[in-house]
Amino acid sequence: MKLPETEREIQSHVSVRSLAFSYPQRQNVLNGIDLEIKPGEKVGIIGPNGSGKTTLFLLLAGILTPDSGMLRILDSAVKTGSFNKNLGFVFQNPDNQLFCPTVRDDLAFGLLNLGYSKDEAYSMINEYLNHAEMSDLAERAPHNLSGGEKRMVSIAGVIIMNPAIVILDEPESSLDSRARRQLIEFLRESEETLLIASHDLEFLLETCGRTVILDNGRICADGSSREIMGNEKLMNSHGFEKPHSLVPHTVQHHR
């Protein structure tokens, strides 16, 4: 049975219809994007550099204004310049998010603005840092952290606010193998709806059941991550190689 329009939108955490956007110096960065993401889905967004992934994220976050089309988060239209407590955005560059004297202050900033008391915020921060094995960073200045530590703190600052939807732009960059594995396990266990842009296809295979290919301003493929990334012809046509884990391997026996 076909659902009424309003009911279909309420059943989606993210709804994008006929979205178009151009920069003054670059036309048709996005050109007729349609995308529906259901509650709890984990969706990987892949595409060549300049394909519009970050632009799509900035539009969903209300940082940019679309030229045309419709954007909805849960059941509300995205309003440019308005804070949406239901959506968290982890920027590609953590220096764009970290600006307080200490890590604890950075994590408290969002919570305090959501109306939590200082005691409540600090209690939540201590619990989160202990769980994430990051307690030793609490009093450190963000600008003195390593690239990987900055990345983990920027993710923590968003997740701790408990948004329904989290957008992550290249979240695995600058992470060492241990931190990368920790982040993968965290994202796999999370209940939030996730949109993750990454060039690390193995990372997306482990965290996202669904993958969208964005290229030349359009969605070129949308489906199961293993089916999309396992299609060598499709991947090659958009500048990607089939992930190593999806390539059949044979064991050679030596005499």
Instruction: Read off φ and ψ for residue 63, nearest 5 degrees.
Output: -85, -35
- 6 pLDDT tier (thresholds 50, 70, 90): very low
- Give yes or no for residue 15 having a pLDDT over 90: yes
For residue 4, pLDDT over 90 is answered with no
Handedness of CA 207, 210, 211, 212 (dihedral sign): negative
Closest among 28, 15, 122 to 70, alpha carbons compared: 15
Give the sheet arrangement for strand 193-197, strand by strand.
87-90, 165-169, 193-197, 42-46, 210-215, 218-224
Q: What percent of the chain has pLDDT over 70?
A: 93
pLDDT tens track for 180-215: 998 899 899 888 999 999 999 999 999 999 999 999
**What is the predicted pLDDT for the residue at 221?**
97
Higher pLDDT, 225 or 183: 225
pLDDT band of 249, cuts 50, 70, 90: low
Owner of token pair 């008391």 = 117
Give the 3-state secondary structure of residue 4. Answer: coil
Q: In residues, how long is the chain? A: 255
Beta-carbon count within 10 A of 18 CB: 12
Determine the pLDDT at residue 186: 86
In single-letter form, the type of residue at position 182 comes to Q
Phi, psi of 25 (to 5 degrees): -95, 0
Q: Which residues contact 175 (CB under 8 A, 6 or more apart)?
A: 148, 151, 152, 183
Q: Tell me the C-alpha distance between 181 and 173, whole Å.
A: 12
Local confidence band at 9 (pLDDT 50, 70, 90 cut-offs): very low
With a cut of 50, say whether residue 7 has pLDDT above it.
Answer: no
Q: Exposed (0-12), middle (13-18) or buried (19+): which is 92, by Cβ within 10 Å?
A: middle
pLDDT recorded at residue 255? 53
| pLDDT score for 78 | 95
| pLDDT at 233 exceeding the cut of 70 | yes
For the CA atoms of 81, 219, 34, 19, what is the dihedral angle to 10 degrees? 40
Compute how many other C-beta atoms are within 10 angstroms of the C-beta atom of residue 153. 23
Choices 3.30.300.20, 3.30.450.20, 3.40.50.300, 1.10.3720.10: CATH for 1-86+164-176+197-255: 3.40.50.300
- Structure confidence by residue, pLDDT tens digits, 117-149: 999 999 999 999 998 889 999 999 999 998 888
Q: What is the mean predicted confidence (pLDDT) over 50-64?
A: 95
Q: Where are the domains of the chain?
A: 1-86+164-176+197-255
What does the pLDDT read at residue 175? 86
Complete edge-to-edge strand list for the sheet that includes strand 76-77: 26-37, 14-23, 68-73, 76-77
Under 8 Å CB-to-CB from 163, ≥6 apart: which residues? Answer: 85, 86, 87, 88, 192
Supply the pLDDT for residue 54. Answer: 94
221-242 mean pLDDT? 95
CA distance 90 to 70: 23
Mean residue pLDDT of the chain comes to 90
